[in-house]
Amino acid sequence: MPAIHPPHCVVGVIGGGQLGRMLALAARRMGIRTAIWTGGLEAPAVEVADEVIDLPFDDPKALEQFCNTATVATVEFENIPRETLEAVAARTPLHPSPHAISICQNREREKNFLRENNIPCTWFAVIASAEDLAKAMAELAGPGVLKTAAFGYDGKGQVKLEGTENPEEVWAAFDADRAVLEAWVPFEKEISIMAARGADGSIVTYDPAENRHRHHILDMSIVPARVSPAVGLEAAAIARRIAEALDYQGILGVEFFLREDGTLLVNEMAPRPHNSGHHTLDACATSQFEQQLRAVIGLPAGSPRLLSPAVMLNLLGDFWPDETTPPDWLQLFADGETFLHLYGKRRAIGRRKMGHANVLGPDALERAEAMKSAMLAAAAKP
């Protein structure tokens, strides 16, 4: 596909969350116009988009308006109806493809894809009934995690099983039509790789991130991950294999479990920019958002070179003293090498992702942990 150069390019983004917002901000800097299709959901991206379609994803008028506006299209989250993706792709180039997105949006399809392509992943079984669960638990004969086949993220839609539970009771309480039972994986670390594959099939990969979680939500990403060079190279090689097998075009996030023996298992894939790639906004030659735009419109990839060690600190709703009062950012700004990115969300509800901070420098982890502790303590004060 020939590159679609600005100013004649309008990138249509399906979804209007914080990833769409950061994608639109990167586009503005590059002179590329954006059209955000919100799906009728609260959409932080609308504040920075050139055009907004604030209608549901199943609205025929919205589809018509989106396809008439966008030169090329992409997504900022994967839980979009396959019918919508196919309808867009029939009229407007959509990258990544509906096929690639549909695999990544459903754990059953994702796990089967990994197995079929000989990509290392944990043992799993597809579950559609209490009988399936009983059989799988007997075969596994140990701890596992039961996960919904669709619409699960940030620890939602999953439950850990020790292997001694009553399958009928578990399934009755699980509230899902289809699920995947995965073997519990003892691991040393969780890491992730961002890979960008262009229209010409060329692939660039970023340094691996080491990910820590809090309340099943990403807390910090430490870059570069504290792993051996061999592990980093293997993670990048697996990400490349996945991108090629999907005939992918765009930015792809691949999450791994690193086991104590040094081997890697793929946990999940994200067909879009990823939370663990947010450090690239300040710490890399090319951000993951610019990389996505370059790949989608057919431009050469930018350098993924890491300019500084970094820690990305997620700022969840519990950093806020209440729903509408933001934290005191003085300590963060006083640091001098920490950069704040807020997502424009109106209310800090529970553990909602409100923004992130990128802390740069060789002592970034120590400083990030100190800032996190101070802000959480301040938010907890009556």
User: DSSP class of residue 225?
Assistant: -
pLDDT of res. 213: 96
Tell me the percentage of the chain whose pLDDT exceeds 90.
91
pLDDT of res. 153: 58
Give residue-wise pLDDT tens across range 118-155.
999 999 999 999 999 999 999 999 999 999 998 655 55
pLDDT of residue 2 exceeding 60: no
- What percent helix, strand, coil does the chain show, rounded to 5? 35, 25, 40
Give residue-wise pLDDT tens across range 28-73.
999 999 999 999 888 999 999 999 999 999 999 999 999 999 999 9
pLDDT of res. 4: 58
Residue 341 pLDDT class (50, 70, 90 cuts) = very high
pLDDT of res. 154: 54
With beta carbons less than 8 A apart as the criterion, state whether 192 and 255 touch: yes
When pLDDT is averaged across residues 199-210 and rounded to a whole number, the result is 97
With beta carbons less than 8 A apart as the criterion, state whether 192 and 211 touch: yes
Q: Which residue did the predictor score with more confidence, 85 or 381? A: 85
Sign for the pseudo-dihedral over CA of 132, 133, 138, 139: positive
Tell me the percentage of the chain whose pLDDT exceeds 70.
97
pLDDT of residue 323 exceeding 90: yes
pLDDT of res. 14: 98
Average per-residue pLDDT in the chain? Answer: 95
Q: Cis peptide before 60, with omega less than 30 degrees from 0? A: no
pLDDT of res. 157: 81
Binding residue ranges: 107, 147, 152-158, 182-185, 190, 213, 267-268
pLDDT of res. 381: 85
With beta carbons less than 8 A apart as the criterion, state whether 306 and 207 touch: yes
pLDDT of res. 69: 97
Residue 158 pLDDT class (50, 70, 90 cuts) = confident
Locate the DSSP E strands across 103-233.
124-127, 144-148, 158-161, 179-183, 189-197, 203-205, 209-214, 217-223
**Interatomic CA distance for residues 6 and 364, integer angstroms:** 37
Query: String of b and e for 156-175 (b: at least 16 CB within 10 Å)?
Result: ebbeebeeeeebeebbeebe
pLDDT of res. 152: 58
When pLDDT is averaged across residues 157-173 and rounded to a whole number, the result is 93
Sorted by where each starts, the structural domains of the chain and their CATH numbers stand as: 10-94 (3.40.50.20), 123-183 (3.30.1490.20), 189-380 (3.30.470.20)
Task: Report the length, in residues, of the chain.
Answer: 382
**Interatomic CA distance for residues 9 and 79, integer angstroms:** 25
Q: Of 77-91, 138-152, 240-254, where does mean pLDDT reach its minimum?
A: 138-152
Binding residue ranges for ATP: 107, 147, 152-158, 182-185, 190, 213, 267-268
pLDDT of res. 175: 83
Q: Cis peptide before 224, with omega less than 30 degrees from 0? A: yes
Give residue-wise pLDDT tens across range 180-203.
999 999 999 999 999 999 999 999
pLDDT of res. 350: 84
